[in-house]
Each structure stands twice: as C-alpha cells, then as structure tokens.
Amino acid sequence: MKIFHVQFFISALVALLLPVRNADAARNLTATVDIMAYSDVYEMLQDDVSGLKLGGPSRVVPLVKDMRCKNPNSLVLFAGDTMSPSLWSSQFRGMQMVDAHNAIGIDFASLGNHEFDFGIEGFYNVSKASNFPWLNANCYEVGTKTLLRGTMPNAVKTFDHRKFGKVKIGFFGVMYDMKDSSKGLYWTDPIEAAKQQVKLLKNQSVDLIIALTHQTLADDNRLSKEVTGVNLIYGGHDHTSMLQSNYGTPYLKPDFDFRSIWLSRIEYFAASGSLTTTTRMTHRAIPIVEEMPSDPDLDKVIADYTIKIGILHARVIGTLCEPLDVTNKLVRAGDTPVGAIFSDAGLSFYGPGSADASVTNGGSIRTDKVYPAGNLSIGQVIAWSPFGNTLMIIETDGASLRKYLEREMTASCGDGLVILNGYYVQPGGFKYIFTCTAKGIGKITSLEWFKHPTRSGPVLDTDVFKLALSGFLYNTEFLLTPGAMVKRVVVNEAEASRIDTALEMYVKSFSNASVCVKPDGRSLVLFANNATFTATV
C-alpha cells in the first residue's frame, strides 16, 4: 500500500497522474486548481509536541490568503470532526471552532463523528453559524427520515479565470455508519451513497468530482476501489497524515489539530479530439510550525476565548509525580496509568462500596498528549474527559460483564495487532486477559477480582455486583450487548455527576494531591499462541 507518513518540518511532495500518451505532452492545459485540506481539528492553540510548537488555525489563515492571491481557482476543504472533544468545546459547544473555520475561509465541509457530541440541535447551531455548506449524503434524522438538518448532499463550483482556466467541480460528503440510534440519527451505506452522488453530479456535467469522507482507513480503501468516477478523496478520522493511491482513486488524510495540512494542485486537461480527459496532481504536506506568521484578526478572537477559559485552566488541583502518557497509542491499546485513574475514580466517587467494578473505554480518554510532571489543573483534567459524560452505577452480574468485555474487545482484534479504535476496556476492581484468535474474533480467557476490599479470585458468572460506567457506554454499548443483564440502575443519568468531577475528586484523594500511578497488569491482550499483541499507530 502506498502510504506516505509526514515527518515534521518536511514537506512531502507527491505527484499523481493518469497514464498519458506521448502525444499528450503538447496538449494545452485547461485549468489549474489549488486546494488546501484539513480535518480533525479541536484546538485553537498550538500543541507542544516533543518540544515543537505545532498547529493552530491562526497560522493557516495566511497560507490560505497567499494561495487565493496567487490562484483565484482555489479551494479550502474540511473533512470533519471539530465540535468536540477539547476543553474549549466543553465550554463553547464547538462554536469557537466555527470562528476559526470562518476565518480560514472553508468552501466545503463534511461531517465527522464528533459533530453529534452535543446533539442534533448542537450541530444545527454550528451549521447556522458556518459561512460554508456542510456536505452529507448518508446521515439522516430518525424523526424525519431526511438528511441531517443544516447539511446538503452535494455541491458544484465552477471556476472561470482568464489565466487559470475554466473547470466545473462537483463535491459530496459521506461518513461511516456510527450505529448509534441514541443520537436520533441513522446512516446509510457510504459506498452506495457515494455512487448515487457521483451519478447526480455527472448528470450536472461536472468535469471533476471530489469526495469528502470521514471514516477509517479500511473504509476509504473500499471507497477508493469501489466508487468509480471520483477524481480525488480527502478523508478524516485517522489523525495521521497520509496519501494512498494503491486501490484506485487517490485519497489524502491530514494530521489532526492543524499540525499539518495538505496543499494540492490539480492540472486539468479536457478531452480534445482523440485525447481523453487527463488530470495531473501534486500534493504537499505542510507542517504548521511556530515560525509561520499568524493572522492578527483571528489572534484577537483566540485571545478573547483564552481569557474566558483561563480561570478554569489555571486552578491547580494536584500534581503529577512523573509524566503521564495520555496518547491514543497507549490508552487504546493496553494497560495504562491514566486508564487506571479513570476507572478507579469511577469506583470511589460515590463513596465506599458504591461500586465493585468500573469500565472505561480507551476512546473516551482524550488529548493524545504526554503531560509533564508538575502541577495538574482542572482544565487539564477536563481535557482528558471533554464530552461532559456522566458517571452511572448499575447492578449486573459476572456473566454480563464477560459478555460486555467480549463485545468490546473483539473489535480490537486485528491482524497481529490491537486496533486503535477506542473500544479497549480500561478496568477497575477486576482484571482480565483477552485472547484474540483471528481478526475480530476472541474471548475472555481470564477474569478475576483485582484490588477489591472484599472480593478475590475469579469473577463468577453468578456474582452480582455494582458496575460504574459512563452514561455513554451504558446506552450505546452495555445495553446493546446480547445477553447482558441490568438488574437495577443504582445511579441514573439524571442523578449522575460528570466524569471530570469524579476525576477531580480522585486526584485530590492522593496524599498531598500528588498523583503517582503505575501500570499494574489490569488488562492484557494475547495472540492465540499466547504472544502479547502490539499496537500500531
């Protein structure tokens, strides 16, 4: 597979062109279009990545202005995920990112899975504030059986410039099926939706078609291979900058949080005589670094938001005795200290004996950063859990816990690696070993009580106990686990406190509020031959 991973401070220049006969070398260029693309952006400030300051929308604005100045046939495309999660999003419901996108000057955007974190109305408020259309061909509202309000399935833009030529481009957006009816939404097959949009756009006599997608690498591979008529795909969701051209239509995925963006040039040669339509494309991955100029107007907007959030950020609630790794490659792949912090906070928050066991999914632990030793603020803790999820307590049994774990963990079984999809279960009050026998197939091979004050040994199917979990996991995972039983709800969502509140109380429970947590073997994934799985990013 042709995948080019971007190294910071290096621009990856890749040229793609359809086969052209020698006679085509002299043909006239019909049009030139420049495109900037990005996705998965949640933060307004630059991130500190191994000592480098990266990202930030303010440094993207001058790049867009320069691109449009040099070539009026220019586009800015966004492939979804912006309303959440971040500390700022939990306070401003994603509206701060709309200010950034409007300043950048997006032409077209597509939906990402985090556009629904504040419900349909939350997204609708964002869409109304957006100075650009949101493209969506396969996400529908359950109540109306119509496309999500504030979206449209496709769009067409025609460029006609004396120097850079004339070309008519069609756009559409699709995303993966989240299979989550609790949001009041349902999704149709993105492949079939894409095929339908290509047909509709072809009927409008477009010269080129660009797809905006938000789905996994495997899903984009499939779309690249199975949907003909698309010239280029810009995708999101994977948080890794890459270009793939192995399956069919080339696609690009940007880095997250503006750490790098893609700049593309499409040279379009219209059919002429015996010569067929040809496109020639070049793509550059541009890291967004501190040395780049920023936009003064957007800087002022960011400064206003920073003042509002500063009080929350500044309030110190404890310290970290050593660096704490909260990167996806750890929290979504195995036993990790921050996973223990989350689950143990769930065990203790409602008081002694309030819960016997606790589960946290790796995907709910956010920021994808390493926190240095030293002061820990409430703002940083909220950033770990930015969704506003509540902490429920239910009464269940050992058989149900086993079924739930197997439902979640089979999704993490890849071809010799743990898939970093966020399903990995971080446990509290018990420990487990999960053995994968094939991709998407496995079972619990050990399930024992762990550091429990009164229980020890294996967790029996007949054991009845209280389980702490987020309202999100309860509604979207536990209740959908075949055979899992809820004997009673001890703390319901209406009565529950937020998880970030539980985390704050847990931090303060340490001596001098100094958090020192080591990996303690709560969970392990094995191959069928008892070799430990490794995860890839």
CA 106 to each of CA 65, 79, 103, 474: distance values in angstroms, whole numbers, following the listed order: 12, 11, 8, 37
Q: How far apart are CA 531 and CA 185, in angstroms?
A: 41
Confidence (pLDDT) at 16: 53
Confidence (pLDDT) at 40: 94
Strand stretches in 277-387, DSSP E: 278-287, 316-320, 324-325, 357-361, 370-371, 374-377
Of residues 488, 440, 431, the one with CA closest to residue 459: 431
Residue 48 has pLDDT above 70, yes or no: yes
Residue 17 has pLDDT above 70, yes or no: no
CA of residue 322 relative to chain centroid, distance: 28
CA 386 to each of CA 84, 108, 373: distance values in angstroms, whole numbers, following the listed order: 8, 27, 21
Q: Give the rounded percent of residues in the chain with a pLDDT score beyond 90.
A: 77
- Per-residue pLDDT tens digits for 77-87: 999 999 987 77
- Per-residue pLDDT tens digits for 430-488: 999 999 999 999 999 999 999 999 999 999 999 999 999 999 999 999 999 999 999 99
Q: How far apart are CA 257 and CA 268, in angstroms?
A: 31
Confidence (pLDDT) at 84: 83
Q: Which domains does the chain have, with CATH numbers?
A: 12-300 (3.60.21.10), 315-535 (3.90.780.10)
- Per-residue pLDDT tens digits for 157-210: 999 999 999 999 999 999 999 988 778 999 999 999 999 999 999 999 999 999
Concatenated DSSP letters of 161-221? ETTTEEEEEEEEEEE-----GGGTEEE--HHHHHHHHHHHHHTTT-SEEEEEEES-HHHHH
How sure is the predictor about 495, in pLDDT bands with cuts at 50, 70 and 90?
Answer: confident
Confidence (pLDDT) at 494: 66
Sign of the dihedral defined by the CA atoms of residues 199, 200, 206, 208, in that order: negative
**Which tops the pLDDT comparison, 381 or 497?**
381
Other C-beta atoms lying within 10 Å of the C-beta of residue 488? 9
Report yes or no: 73 and 167 within 8 Å, Cβ to Cβ. Answer: yes
Q: How far apart are CA 126 and CA 99, in angstroms?
A: 10
Report yes or no: 522 and 340 within 8 Å, Cβ to Cβ. Answer: yes
Residue 233 has pLDDT above 80, yes or no: yes
Report yes or no: 254 and 12 within 8 Å, Cβ to Cβ. Answer: no
Residue 108 has pLDDT above 50, yes or no: yes
Q: Which residue has the tokens 């004339």?
A: 166
Confidence (pLDDT) at 390: 87
Residues 6+ positions from 445 with CB-CB distance below 8 Å: 433, 434, 435, 526
Residue 1 has pLDDT above 50, yes or no: no
Confidence (pLDDT) at 386: 84
How sure is the predictor about 246, in pLDDT bands with cuts at 50, 70 and 90?
Answer: confident
Residue 25 has pLDDT above 60, yes or no: no
C-alpha angle with apex 126: 223 to 45, nearest 5 degrees? 85
The region of weakest confidence among 4-13, 181-190, 274-283, 488-497 is 4-13
CA 405 to each of CA 34, 252, 348, 402, 412: distance values in angstroms, whole numbers, following the listed order: 48, 34, 21, 5, 11
Q: Which residue has the tokens 């349902």?
A: 186
Confidence (pLDDT) at 51: 81
Q: How far apart are CA 100 and CA 109, in angstroms?
A: 13
Q: Which amino acid is at 332?
A: R
C-alpha angle with apex 26: 24 to 30, nearest 5 degrees? 80
